[in-house]
């Protein structure tokens, strides 16, 4: 049976997750997108990025509120005919970050460290960052609420 998890564990799962699903309302319709993401150290900001010319970026310009869901540690328990998992649900305000804002670079460095690691070439990152800047758009989902649920799974991110 599923149960609520602590806010502390939910934040740890959020920071450790690999991808999430962003949901928001656009012209009266629910939009959902699976995305890679990074967080700040406290788990109070979720950083998303993309190409400013794509439809998602254009929709996010007018979507002030969003939800973001991360599901981790998923396992099918065939004998019990159930799904074991841990999940995080975040709700908050989403806003574009101006390219000149230092938060843009912070968000991109956090993303690179999360998906590539800390030993990435600084020179390569600098060249890529400079080459991508005309089309790069970063969004900050400011976490207002965070909660989570789990279904009888032994967490790989320990609550402590």
**pLDDT for res 103:** 74
Asked, for residue 152, whether it belongs to a domain, the answer is: no
Asked, for residue 66, whether it belongs to a domain, the answer is: yes
pTM (whole model) above 0.95: no
Share of the chain above pLDDT 70, in %: 76
**pLDDT for res 60:** 86
Asked, for residue 30, whether it belongs to a domain, the answer is: yes
* Region for 104 from its dihedrals, namely left if φ exceeds 0, alpha if ψ lies in -120 to 50, beta otherwise: alpha
99: containing domain: 2-147
User: What are the pLDDT digits (tens) for 85-103?
Assistant: 899 999 999 988 876 667 7
User: What are the pLDDT digits (tens) for 123-139?
Assistant: 656 665 565 556 777 88
Asked, for residue 132, whether it belongs to a domain, the answer is: yes
Question: What's the number of domains the chain is made of?
Answer: 1
- Written as six digits, the tokens of 82 are 């159930």
Residue 86 and residue 71 in contact, taking contact as beta carbons nearer than 8 Å? yes
Residue 67 sits in a domain of what CATH number? 2.30.110.10
**pLDDT for res 7:** 95
- Name the helix (H) or strand (E) containing 14: helix 7-16
Asked, for residue 53, whether it belongs to a domain, the answer is: yes
Phi, psi of 43 (to 5 degrees): 75, 25
Nearest Cα to 114, choosing from 41, 34, 31?
41
Asked, for residue 158, whether it belongs to a domain, the answer is: no
Asked, for residue 143, whether it belongs to a domain, the answer is: yes
**pLDDT for res 126:** 63
Asked, for residue 108, whether it belongs to a domain, the answer is: yes
**pLDDT for res 89:** 97
Tens digit of each residue's pLDDT, the chain (160 residues): 778 999 999 999 999 998 999 999 999 999 999 998 989 889 999 988 877 668 888 888 887 899 999 999 888 888 878 788 899 999 999 988 876 667 767 777 777 676 666 666 666 566 655 655 567 778 899 999 999 998 875 445 555 4
């Amino acid at each position: 049976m599923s149960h609520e998890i602590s806010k502390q564990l939910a934040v740890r799962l959020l920071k450790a997750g690999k991808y999430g699903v962003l949901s928001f309302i656009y012209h009266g319709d629910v939009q959902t997108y699976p995305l890679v993401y990074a967080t700040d150290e406290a788990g109070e900001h979720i950083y998303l990025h993309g190409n400013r010319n794509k439809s998602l970026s254009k929709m996010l310009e007018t979507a002030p509120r969003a939800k973001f869901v991360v599901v981790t540690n998923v396992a099918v328990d065939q004998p019990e005919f159930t799904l074991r998992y841990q999940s995080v649900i975040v709700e908050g305000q989403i806003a574009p970050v101006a390219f000149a804002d230092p938060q843009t670079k912070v968000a991109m460095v956090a993303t690179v460290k999360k998906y590539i690691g800390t030993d990435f070439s600084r020179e390569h990152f600098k060249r890529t960052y400079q080459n991508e800047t005309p089309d790069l758009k970063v969004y900050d989902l400011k976490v207002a609420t965070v909660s989570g649920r789990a279904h009888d799974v032994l967490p790989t991110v320990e609550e402590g």
